[in-house]
Structure formats: structure tokens, C-alpha cells
Structure 1
Amino acid sequence: MDVNIYGAVMPHLIDDKDFGFTASTAGTVGSWTTFGMLVGALGCGTLTDWLGRKPMVTGSVVVFSLGSALCALAPSVFAFGAGRFVSGLGLGGLMPIGLAIVAEFAPPRRAALATGLMMTSYHAGGMAATGLGLALGPDHGWRVVFWAGVIPALVAVPLVVKWLPESPGVLFAKGRTREAEAVAARYLLPAPTPAEAPEAGAKGRYAAVAALFAPGRRLATPLLWLASFAGLLLVYGVSTWLPELMRASGYSLSSSVTFLMVINAGGIVGMLVAGRTADRFGAVKVSAVWFLLTACGAFLLKAQLPLGVAYAIVFVTGIWLFSAQVMVYAAAPSVYPPAQRATGLGWVTGVGRTGAVVGPWLGGAVVAGGNASLGFTTFAVAAILGAVAISLVPLVRRNGSDPGTARATPDVLGHSEGKILPRH
């Protein structure tokens, strides 16, 4: 919701002449948000193996809620951008932690589906943001909409503190062996072992990053980064600029904002379809095909289409676009062993955030140039880049040797890799 609120109120921000927003300024501020997410993902993805999942989830939610409040109160464009940067820090930190928790607690052969289920909440939040923008923006202004971003600190944090389990591997690394075994038994996980426990201290954090380039991963890691870059350029470029691109193509303001809700509805369907399909055929194959279908959808939107046809194409493009990126995340846990999983996911999401920084800025430059057709072409090219990068991951993995792990992850690469241990 917090990510998509910006795109949902973008037309109202630009139309607020007293505040001083332009299309170019709006794109720059959108990039500040995603730069904050880059910093948050890189930092939290590494720190969570050391401090624990639960404290980092709690802190991340508090930080992005605080950032939303700063935006609601902002007296200037600079202050508003600072609020979006703070929001980005919390949002960027939350993503790799959530992915690591799902990868650890999901049933072995349902990891991709579980990841997709978790990410449906992203699009439910996107639809909620669009609804708030449509309901509150015209009559009450864009500031009121940002106050909704404070709600998670009041509602989600108490629930996380009470019910979110800590990682058995992190508990084991801290010497809390009995607690680790109790959590593992409660959630039917294998008992943690030293191989699954992240090494403590600064030396351990450095070792976790260095392990991303161990044999069997030294080429797969940059390819995952590149695929994540392309996917997040699409996700945040489209989420930020779809309403303006559609308005520049001749659709009304209300219809243009509604397109954002429609594409997020497609995203929810896509997560469920992609997750089940990936558990059967492999996350890499699904991600590559979905990226290519996204490129086709973007090319189709270049044409001047009847409103109903445009809604249909935006919906099916949403099915492919968002889940293509999420299946990159679903493929990552099989590349990294448990002790480096949160770090690996943190760097895949963090380095990928450079795409999220580029996407809103690039969209702003295109819209400022008055060429909506070029914007759709740009997104199509990014989708093709993502397809090529993720398709190469299995090839480079076969050419390297992968160290064994105590608990192999489900096969999401589309080929047999390691032995999956039975649940207790």
C-alpha cells in the first residue's frame, strides 16, 4: 500500500501547483523512495541473520510508517522526498526478511506457492492504495492518503511482536538451543544444525556476503541481481507511472488511476498461478516465460485501444509482470544454503533496487518528453532483459559445484538439485 500510494496520488501531486511538483520532480522523488529501499534491503538482509528476523520486521514496519507520516506533514518537496526515503528504508528491509521467513517455514515442495501467496498482499495493498487515492484524493487532497501508511505501525507491530516466530537457525546461532528446537518442532521443521546457523559478529556478516560468490554461485548471483534489476524496474516504473502513461495516451484521469487497481488485481491472480506453476515446472522457467509475456503486453499497450480492451490487457499484463519478479525471489533460496539465505535474498532484492531507482526516474523522463509510447517500449525491453538473465541461472549452476546443505531447498530451478529431507 505504501509503495503504491505514491503512484495513486501522483496526478493530484502534479496538479497541486502550490506544492511545486512537476513530472520530472515526481520521478526524482520516486527514485529517492527506491534508493531508500536499496539501502534498507542491503542492510537488513545482512543484519537479520545476526540480530534475528523478528526485531528487524518490527523495526522495518515502524520505519516505513514513520516515513509515511513525514510525507503527510511535509511542508516542501524536499521534506516530502525525505519522507519517501525513510519509507523506502523500512519497506526495503521488510522484503528480504519476509522472503527469508517464508523460504524457511514453507513446506518443502510448496516454497514457490508460499512465496506467491505472501506477495499477493503486495497487490492487495496496491489495490487499497488506489481505492484510497480515488476516494480521498479528489476531495481531501493527497496528504490525507499518506496518513493511511501509519496504520501498520498501530496494527501490524503488536501482531508481529506476539505471534511471529523467530528463525530456529538464528536462535541456534545465539546459543538459544532449546528455543530453536521448540520452534522447529512446533512448525514441523528439521532441528537446526550448525550448518544452518549464521556465523555471529562482523566476521560472520562478511563471510555470508563472500559466500554469495562461492563455486556454483559466483555467476548465478550476478544473474539473479540482473533479473531482479529488470523486474523491479518494471514493478516500480509501472506502479509509479502507469496512470500518467495511460492519461498521456488519451484516457481520462479517473480511468488512468483505475488502471493501477486493475493491474494489481491481475498481480494477485498472477501470484497464485505462478506459484503453483513454479512448484511444478520450476521458478526459473516460469519467471522467464512471464517476463516475455510482460514484454508482449507492454508492446500491445502502445496502441490506442478501446477502454474495455485496454483494461483487459492491463489486467493480464499484471498477471505476468509482478509474478515474474517474485519468481526470481522464489528461485534464489535454491541457490543459497540456509545460513546465507537471508543475506542472499537481501542482496538480490537490494541490488535489484537499482532497477527500482531507475524505473521511476526513467518513467518521469519519458513522460516529461511527452512520448507515452516510448515508455511502454522501455518497459518491454526491460522485460526481455529479465527473461534472458533468469534463463541463464540453471546453465551456470550446472557448470559449478554447489556445497551441500543440511536442509536442501525445494527444486525451483526446474531440475533436480539435492535431497529434500522429510519433515518430522
Structure 2
Amino acid sequence: MNRTTTTPDPTARRRAVVIALCWALVLLDGIDTFVYGSVLPEMIGSGQLGLTDATAGEIGSATTFGMLVGTVLSGTVTRWVGRRPAVFASVALFTAATLGSGLAGSAVVFGFCRLLCGFGLGALLPIAIAYGMEFWPGNRRALATGVITTAHQAGGALAPLIALVLVDTAGWRWVFVAGAVPAVVLLPVAVRLLPESPAILAARGRSQEAAAVSAEHGLASAAPVPAAPAPERPDRWAGLRALFRGGRWPVTLLFWLTSFAGLMLVYGVGQWLPKIMGDLGYETGDALLFSTALNVGGIVGMVVAGRLADLVGARRIVVAWFALTAVFVHLLGVHLPVAVLYVVVFFAGLLLFSGQSMVYAAVGAHHDAGDRDTALGWVAGMGRFGAVFGPWLGGALLAAGRADLGFTAFAVTGLFGAAMMALASLTIRFRGPRSSRQRSEAGG
């Protein structure tokens, strides 16, 4: 009896290593992003740094402002130095700053550490998404985006659990330390195993290296080799200008506005959910576990949205998801039985986090590999204005004693995001996508 045996594909294993490393690094990003919201009730209650609702909101906004700068610079810097160095620098920065947050002796030092942390946190995610889109097998870029961003929500789900274990026994400072330690182990592994992007190598004129990395990872068509050598002094801002040339500026701006709404939801709801729920009368344990339920919903949503987006188009999913997010976020402010509220929180997380990740999928599908890093960096960076505004708005409403209005404001934001992506889709349909590939991938 003859048995057919299949030989494992070494290139598939190497691609899997790249995806796994990006996922693990984004997991650390998620923990260090959401750890602040998880310990915020204890930090304010302990009075150790003199934080109030208003100053806590300002520090949250400082963190997201740092993310804004880091995200905007990530795409451009990646074109200058490559993805590998940008990834390593961003992880090292947010890890050191998270550790510094746990050691801070004053609100000023703590806020400065969170600002620095934001630089690194903001830079990593768009680069990791671009890696995923390039190294994912087949042509499922939306699914690649969804899978990579599940790590961010997994980190968001772990952060309140870490806080629940450590806050009462060791204090809030050790929660930050626990969030920083894993990177000390993971970063050297990434330095050893993570390859440079073939697309970036080709764009920088290193065509032979690009071809070698592509062959090693089974990406023969992923990094086209230029027919002529690249100029010695390439135009480093060409990627940004390409987002506005040829009548592309309306779509670029609409993508940016959609991302503004999405990240206002992600960081506004993500940071303030435990505190608002506590102010609305729920137990501290439930308030923290609501954050876990929110992020577990986000993990499920990333995979579901990614699969659906590859079938019907990422832009369509964004419009539907943001509209539904408005409904479920509004329900968070309604006094419901705790068991029912957990279900509402789960679906709110499923929709709002994956809705934002599909914004990245839509942008990534709309752009070619050569300018994808820049497009993703800038759409995430402009969205960070919403990430700055969301925590500030939550803090201002809490300081004014109007916690009940917080979820209503975020629900309106969801409707705004749906409208902006719908306008982007109409504009692309009117002007026509740049290629048949984009028509099939982005839901044109």
C-alpha cells in the first residue's frame, strides 16, 4: 500500500515565523497601551501621584499624542531605514517608557513616560500590519490585517487581568513592570529572526537582497525588482506626495477622517470604560472585567471582519461595523442587568476594534506595496488625533459629573466614521480604483 507523504514547505514555516513575531510584538503593544486604563481607578483612588479625572484624561491624551507622532513618522522613517530597525526601535522605546511609568515619582514624570511610550506604541502597529500584508499567504490582506490586530486586543484583554492580579497585592506600579518585562525576552528573538521587507529593499534599490528574501519566504511576486538602478538620492517624501496626486486627495482625506473616528472610539472607550462603569455604579471587579470582555470581543471581531472583508470588501465592512458600533456603544450607558451588559460589551468590542482594523485593510488594499507603509502610517497617524481627543473628552465629561454622556458622544462618533467611509467608497467608485486588484480587494 503506497502512502503519499507531503514534505513541509520551509518557506511557509518562515512566513509563519514572521507573522508570529509580528503578532507577539503587537501583543506587547496592546498590553502597554491598555495597562493605563486598567490601573487608572487605583491610581486616582490611591492619590499617590495626585491624579484627578481631568489630569488622568490629559495624560491619556499625551500618550495618544505620542502615538500620533510615532505613527505619522513610522511610514516615512521605514522608507529611510527599513522596517526591521523601525520595529526594534519602537519596541525598545515603549518597553523602556512603560518600565519608567511604573517607577515614576510624580505626575509630570509619569506623563512624560507615557508620552514617550506613545511614540513607540504608535510606530509599531502600522509596520506590523504592512509585514502581515506582505508575508501572508495568498491574497487575503484583510484577513492578515485582522489576525495581526487580534494581538492588540489580546493585549488589551490581558492588561486588566494583570491589573486584577497585581493591583491589590503589589500595587499599580508592578502592573507596568509586568507589562514591560516580556519584551526583554522577545526583542532579541525578533532581532535574530525577523527579515527585512522585500518591498522596502526593492524600493531602496537593493534588488538582489529583495529577490533573495522573497525566494527564501516564497514571495516571488511580492517584491518586484526595478528594471533600472534606483537613484543614489531617492526622493524620501515621494510616498507622502503620492497619496495626493492624480486626484487621490479626497479619498486620502476621507480615509483619515474615518480613522479619526475609529481611534477616538478605540481609545476613548478603551481607556475610560472601567472608570465610567465604576461611576455608573458597577462593582470594581465587573468594571475591570468589562474591559476584558470588550477586548475579547475585539479578538473575535478581527477574524470575523477579516474573513468577511476578503469576501465583500473592507470598505463595506467598515461602514456596517461603525454603524452597528454606534448602537452597541450607546447601549453601554443604559442600565441593564450585569449579565446582559457583558454581552453588550462583548459585541461593542467585536465591532469597534475590528471596524478600525478594517480601515487599515481598506487603505492597504487601495495602495500598492511600494507606498503601503506610508499610506498606513499616515492614516493611522491622522487617526491619532481622534485617539488624543477621545481620552480628553472622557476625562472632561467625568470631571463635569456627566459620565452618562460619554457613551452617547462615542456613539455619534461611530455614525460619523460610517458616513466618512461611505463617502470614500462613493468617491472611489466615481473616480474608479487604480487597478482591478484594488477593485476586488477593497470592495470597489
8 Å contact kept, 1:216–1:397: no
8 Å contact kept, 1:294–1:317: yes
Counterpart code for 1:413: A
Matching residue within 318, 335, 356 for 1:325: 356
> 1:393 is matched with which residue?
424
The change in CA–CA distance for 1:200 and 1:89 in structure 2 (over 3 A counts) is farther
Tell me by how many angstroms 1:310 deviates: 0.8
Instruction: Give, in whole Å, the separation in 2 of the partners of 1:259 and 1:85.
Output: 26
8 Å contact kept, 2:160–2:288: yes
TM-score of the superposed pair, with normalisation by structure 2:
0.89
Tell me by how many angstroms 1:26 deviates: 0.3
Tell me by how many angstroms 1:410 deviates: 7.9
Tell me by how many angstroms 1:396 deviates: 1.2
Matching residue within 45, 65, 83 for 1:53: 83
Instruction: Give, in whole Å, the separation in 2 of the partners of 1:357 and 1:191.
Output: 36
Counterpart code for 2:104: A
> 2:301 is matched with which residue?
270
Instruction: Give, in whole Å, the separation in 2 of the partners of 1:18 and 1:206.
Output: 46
The change in CA–CA distance for 1:199 and 1:302 in structure 2 (over 3 A counts) is farther
Matching residue within 265, 285, 305 for 2:316: 285
Instruction: Give, in whole Å, the separation in 2 of the partners of 1:227 and 1:196.
Output: 37
For residues 85-119 of structure 1, the C-alpha deviation after alignment (integer angstroms, 9 at most, x for no partner) is 11100011101111111122223431111111111
> 1:369 is matched with which residue?
400
1:230 aligns to 2:261 (yes or no): yes
The change in CA–CA distance for 1:283 and 1:402 in structure 2 (over 3 A counts) is closer
Matching residue within 39, 46, 70 for 2:100: 70
Tell me by how many angstroms 1:316 deviates: 1.0
Tell me by how many angstroms 1:193 deviates: 2.8
> 1:20 is matched with which residue?
50
For residues 3-39 of structure 1, the C-alpha deviation after alignment (integer angstroms, 9 at most, x for no partner) is 1100100101110223201000000000010000001
1:44 aligns to 2:74 (yes or no): yes
> 1:248 is matched with which residue?
279
> Alignment partner of 1:36: what SS?
helix
Aligned pairs for 1:138-157 within 5 A:
138-157=168-187
Tell me by how many angstroms 1:157 deviates: 1.1
Aligned pairs for 1:203-214 within 5 A:
204-214=235-245
Tell me by how many angstroms 1:236 deviates: 0.4
Q: Identity rate of aligned residues, in percent?
A: 47
> Alignment partner of 1:219: what SS?
helix
The change in CA–CA distance for 1:203 and 1:168 in structure 2 (over 3 A counts) is closer
> 2:442 is matched with which residue?
413
Tell me by how many angstroms 1:306 deviates: 0.8
> 2:252 is matched with which residue?
221
Tell me by how many angstroms 1:69 deviates: 1.2
> 2:413 is matched with which residue?
382
8 Å contact kept, 1:217–1:400: no
Matching residue within 59, 62, 68 for 1:29: 59
The change in CA–CA distance for 1:152 and 1:57 in structure 2 (over 3 A counts) is farther
> Alignment partner of 1:392: what SS?
helix
Tell me by how many angstroms 1:173 deviates: 3.5
8 Å contact kept, 1:70–1:83: yes
> 2:335 is matched with which residue?
304
> 1:100 is matched with which residue?
130
Instruction: Give, in whole Å, the separation in 2 of the partners of 1:175 and 1:5.
Output: 41
Counterpart code for 1:27: G
The change in CA–CA distance for 1:152 and 1:213 in structure 2 (over 3 A counts) is farther
Counterpart code for 2:345: V
8 Å contact kept, 1:217–1:402: no
Counterpart code for 2:295: N
TM-score of the superposed pair, with normalisation by structure 1:
0.93
Tell me by how many angstroms 1:84 deviates: 0.3
Over aligned residues, Cα RMSD in angstroms?
2.0
8 Å contact kept, 2:134–2:222: no
Select between 306-315 and 332-341 the one with higher mean Cα deviation: 332-341
Tell me by how many angstroms 1:401 deviates: 5.6
Tell me by how many angstroms 1:156 deviates: 2.1
Instruction: Give, in whole Å, the separation in 2 of the partners of 1:340 and 1:198.
Output: 18
> 2:366 is matched with which residue?
335
8 Å contact kept, 1:216–1:399: no
Counterpart code for 1:339: G
For residues 345-384 of structure 1, the C-alpha deviation after alignment (integer angstroms, 9 at most, x for no partner) is 0000001000000010000011112222200101101100
Aligned pairs for 1:179-194 within 5 A:
179-189=209-219, 190=221, 192-193=223-224
Instruction: Give, in whole Å, the separation in 2 of the partners of 1:144 and 1:128.
Output: 14
User: Which structure 1 segments of 5+ residues have no match?
Assistant: 416-424
Tell me by how many angstroms 1:59 deviates: 0.6
8 Å contact kept, 1:33–1:84: yes
Instruction: Give, in whole Å, the separation in 2 of the partners of 1:143 and 1:344.
Output: 37
8 Å contact kept, 2:210–2:225: no
Instruction: Give, in whole Å, the separation in 2 of the partners of 1:75 and 1:411.
Output: 54
Instruction: Give, in whole Å, the separation in 1 of the partners of 2:240 and 2:230.
Output: 11
8 Å contact kept, 1:169–1:196: no
> Alignment partner of 1:250: what SS?
coil
Counterpart code for 1:29: I
